[in-house]
């Protein structure tokens, strides 16, 4: 079973690329972030043509999350409990979408495990000292608190998407260049650590090199200079991690005309559990 996550930075602008990516990599489940499309304009028919069910949540031309699955999609949840809002009159933005995926056979007839999956687009924080930074850290802390509970439930859990945090110095191209900037501050990294303390596992890092990045700014030729950041993650409960057989970042999708500034992160799961492990705690 193959699961991918991708901040597409405007779905309608990159719909053909997304369709080609799904087919080229035979992706079973794709979580999308920063779709930038409100629900009544979402291109759901394109996913249906490709054989995918789709759940989506978008309020305006900003933010937006979605989950596409060709192996089952049910129990869709918009936002997580107590999700913080933003603004003078706080609005709960379109940044979190949960669904249970899997449980149906693929085209080759193989059974797929059922997974509780969340597509997440964490607030950026904007700059140190900005109220948006408090919003970001509070958003992460609230989600991590729920993750600890969810990780102990029956279904394997995966929190995937753009976390807008680089938890290690090696997750940025030059840590000195980030002095005084967001994404690498102690409060942000502590908030990210909260997910690991809750029992989740970064399932991609063991399968990639330390300088494997997932995001490169459009400015100053960051991508050809290999000046990127690792800010997109797949964090799984132990039953989810036990199934992971491999993972990679598709840098090819950051190349060419019309690319997103993020690359997809792809994780492969075993259909059958390794000996001595089980799905439930």
Is 57 known as a binding-site position? Answer: no
Is 164 known as a binding-site position? Answer: yes
* Residues labelled catalytic: 121, 162, 262
Is 60 known as a binding-site position? Answer: no
Using CA atoms in the order 27, 207, 143, 62, what is the torsion angle rounded to 10 degrees?
-50
Residue 171 backbone phi and psi in degrees, to 5: -85, 5
What is the rounded distance in angstroms from the CA atom of residue 42 to the CA atom of residue 8? 14
Is 63 known as a binding-site position? Answer: no
Helix axes 186-197, 131-150, angle to 10 degrees: 10
Is 93 known as a binding-site position? Answer: no
Is 207 known as a binding-site position? Answer: no
Residue ranges at the known binding site: 7, 34, 162, 164, 261-262
Residue ranges at the known binding site for Mg(2+): 7, 34, 162, 164, 261-262
């Amino acid at each position: 079973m193959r699961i991918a996550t991708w901040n597409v930075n405007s779905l309608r602008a990159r719909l053909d690329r997304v369709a080609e990516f799904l087919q080229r990599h035979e992706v079973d489940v794709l979580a999308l972030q920063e779709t930038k499309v409100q629900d009544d304009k979402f291109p759901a028919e394109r996913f249906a043509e490709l054989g995918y069910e789709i759940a989506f949540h978008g309020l305006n031309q900003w933010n937006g999350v979605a989950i596409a699955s060709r192996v089952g999609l049910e129990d869709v949840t918009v936002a997580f409990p107590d999700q913080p809002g933003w603004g003078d009159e706080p609005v709960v933005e379109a940044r979190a979408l949960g669904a249970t995926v899997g449980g149906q056979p693929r085209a080759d007839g193989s059974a797929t495990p059922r997974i509780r999956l969340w597509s997440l687009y964490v607030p950026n924080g904007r700059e140190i000292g900005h109220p948006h930074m408090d919003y970001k850290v509070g958003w992460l802390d609230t989600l991590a608190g729920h993750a600890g509970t969810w990780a102990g439930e029956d279904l394997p859990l995966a929190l995937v998407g753009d976390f807008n945090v680089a938890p290690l110095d090696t997750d940025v191209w030059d840590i000195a260049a980030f002095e005084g900037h967001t994404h690498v501050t102690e409060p942000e990294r502590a908030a990210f650590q909260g997910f690991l303390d809750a029992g989740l596992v970064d399932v991609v890092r063991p399968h990639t090199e330390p300088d494997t990045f997932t995001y490169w700014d459009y400015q100053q030729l960051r991508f050809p200079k290999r000046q990127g950041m690792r800010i997109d993650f797949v964090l799984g409960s132990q039953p989810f991690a036990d199934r992971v057989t491999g993972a990679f970042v598709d840098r090819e999708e950051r190349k060419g005309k019309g690319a997103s500034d993020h690359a997809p992160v792809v994780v492969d799961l075993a259909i059958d559990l390794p000996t001595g492990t089980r799905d439930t705690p």
